[in-house]
Structure 1
Amino acid sequence: MIQDRRSKKVILVSHCLLNQNSVVYGLAKRPSMVKELIDLLHELNIGIVQLPCPETLHLGLRRFWQVREQYDTQGFRELCREVLKYVITYVREYVVNGYEVVGIIGVTGSPSCGIHHTSSGDWVGNPLNATELRRIRGMGVFMEELLNTLRASGLISKLRRFRLLEFDYNKPQESLEKIKKELSSP
């Protein structure tokens, strides 16, 4: 008889947290991944569903860094919705088979993957003339489209205790503590 030991718990995680090679040049905080986040999820017996990186799909690896306003376009939102079709298929498959999708971990300040904080700026034209980057309360474009897609598919109502979490590269230990507290609570 086969003994299946899976936890039946998964979480959606922003691509760059598991693959720093997708980050805009000059902004990678780790050589490969945020290992301590992976270790924490392993400790909590939560499997990982790596979200695609919409910025890399849209502009490639040789892109300049951008702010939310630059990604808040019809074309980028359409790309997000297109790649999210596959994510929704995964989520639906997990839900239908009795798994718990416990939440999303995004990236603080990301114009695409911010959950509670994103970046803002009045940037147009020559990137050398860009004004100061501001971190503001709000959601990144990709995460906004992900939640809209979960709602439209009817899946959001089936996700019990679905948490919207954020990892802050500037406060890694504090972020890990918050994530652990949220994911450990019933």
Structure 2
Amino acid sequence: SNCKSVNKFSFLSKMPRFYALIGFTLCALLAVSVVSAGIVRDGSIEIAPEKVRQITVVKDINEFKKNHPGLSLVALKKVTGQARSGSTVEYKLGGRVDGDTLVAQIADAFNYEDAKDVTVQLTYPQAGTGSIVTYVLIHCEADSTEGNAYVVAGGIGQRFISIVLESASTKTFFYNAQIYGSS
């Protein structure tokens, strides 16, 4: 007789593939959601204008002092040292306190063909309200120890700080600024 044997449970042989596909899809979705959870998202595309801090960019500290005669600039404490090539300078302001944490770290490096004076302005926070600033540590490497760091706005005990960092006559300049704060 031409009777075919029909296995009414043949669909079970395809089930492991189906479950593997479902499992893989769920793992992929979970991985994407875990990665997305690590990204801080702001619902708006732009920062609201009232949240943007107006920052005066200081290119020449002497000109800035001349234009603001009533302003007293706070110089950061300077500690010099030697690096493998060039010199190191650490600038410090304030002091660590119980419960403060690293709230910002800003770093950059510059290389020039000819020696030049370098001025960089560091600002925390860029927008909005920051933590109360307790301590600032800036590590610099340059060709010489000639330079300074000044607070030009805000400061220790405030929720905002802007610092002008200078290095004189250098071909290389690297800085790493760490700002600590508390709630």
Normalised-by-shorter TM-score class: under 0.3
Query: Higher strand fraction: Structure 1 or Structure 2?
Result: 2
**TM-score, scaled to structure 2:** 0.25
Instruction: Pick the structure with greater CA Rg.
Output: 2
- Which is helix-richer, 1 or 2? 1
TM-score (ref. length: structure 1):
0.25
